[in-house]
Amino acid sequence: MRGGAIFPEDLTLVGCCSEATVINSEMATLAEVEKKHILAVYKQSGQNKTSTADILGINRLTLRRKLKEYDVH
């Protein structure tokens, strides 16, 4: 067991500050935030649909439908 306090600067959140989660000074709709997040994960995964779906915790067919909706080929 280690002692000592944990401070916010001791923690690193992977992907917490990507363009998908940072919203400028404007408010965005949930659909806009979802789209940005899905596309950011898709890009980071090298456009691998299976990996993207796994990371997002959604079905691959759902991801394909979303990408089609976003006009991503």
Number of domains in the chain: 1
Q: Could you tell me the end-to-end alpha-carbon distance of the chain, in angstroms, rounded to an integer?
A: 50
Q: Is 38 among the domain residues? A: yes
- Tens-place pLDDT, residues 42-63: 999 999 999 999 999 999 999 9
Domain that holds residue 56: 28-73
- Rounded CA separation 48/15 (Å): 18
Tell me, what CATH number does 58's domain have?
Answer: 1.10.10.60
- pLDDT of 43: 97
Residues recorded for the chain: 73
Residue 54 in domain: yes
> pTM of the full predicted structure?
0.65
What's the pLDDT score for residue 65? Answer: 97
What does the pLDDT look like over 1-40, one tens digit per residue?
456 787 776 766 555 555 545 555 478 999 999 999 999 9
pLDDT at 64: 97
